[in-house]
Amino acid sequence: MALNLVMLGPPGAGKGTQASRLAQSRGVPHISTGEILREAVQAGTDLGRKAEMVIEAGQLVNDEIMIGIVNDRLGKDDARHGFLLDGFPRTVSQADALDNMLGVREPLVVIDLSVNDDELVRRLSTRRMCESCGAITGSVNGRPTATCGTCGGALKQRSDDREDVVRQRLIVYRQRTEPLIGYYQQRPTFRSIDGSQDEEAVAALVGAAVDGVAA
């Protein structure tokens, strides 16, 4: 059975980490919004050029462009027998379009990582990015680490990880993206996971949820 899966959750919930782990263990491509945009821009497709102009103007890529780019990406050979989407859909309009893209494919599995806002703020406001290699480093015992564990480089806080910005990002998420939970939650292939636990525990719960849907 092919695995077609969407990973939902607010900023800081661990979507990227869990999506990457699950995609690797299940042998399907992990397709993130950033990856989709980079590939389209680098390939120089019509949609990629449109996206590049929007990004360079400092604007958000709209539904029409994102839907077209995802449709192109899911048509590639490596995604024909399954995929894991991280960062798409972000709106109900995008979710409707994804349903239309899937057609006769296997049903879409939807995993939502649920984490309360205070924990999300703590995670994001204490993480740091290495100035040398770009690695993202989480906190240790609730406090930011001093140096990069990958290369030993200096760490800095990303501007969008400041507490005031994080709280604004969460407001936008609740307004624009959280309605997707209502869109999907009545489906038998929807599962909500407590994402506040450690990475290994969440990974185990995600794997069990996927196995339960596929059974």
Q: Are 145 and 137 in contact (CB under 8 A)?
A: yes
Among the listed residues 50, 73, 90, 128, the single catalytic one is 90
Among the listed residues 50, 73, 128, 169, the single catalytic one is 169
Among the listed residues 38, 49, 158, 162, the single catalytic one is 158
Q: Is 174 noted as a catalytic residue in this protein?
A: no
**152 backbone dihedrals φ, ψ, rounded to 5°:** 80, 5
Among the listed residues 123, 127, 128, 191, the single catalytic one is 127
Q: Is 105 noted as a catalytic residue in this protein?
A: no
Going 127 to 153 to 23 to 62, the CA torsion angle's sign is positive
Q: Is 38 noted as a catalytic residue in this protein?
A: no
Q: Is 26 noted as a catalytic residue in this protein?
A: no
CA distance 201 to 90: 26
Q: How many C-alpha atoms does 55 have within 13 Å on its Cβ side?
A: 13
Output the CA angle 197-202-207, nearest 5 degrees: 165
- Tell me how many helices (H) and strands (E) the chain has: 9, 10
Task: Kindly write down the DSSP assignment for every residue of 102-139, as one continuous string.
Answer: HTTSSPEEEEEEE--HHHHHHHHHH-EEETTT--EE-E
Burial of 211 (0-12, 13-18, 19+ CB in 10 A): exposed
Q: Is 187 noted as a catalytic residue in this protein?
A: no
Show which residues are catalytic. Answer: 15, 90, 127, 158, 169
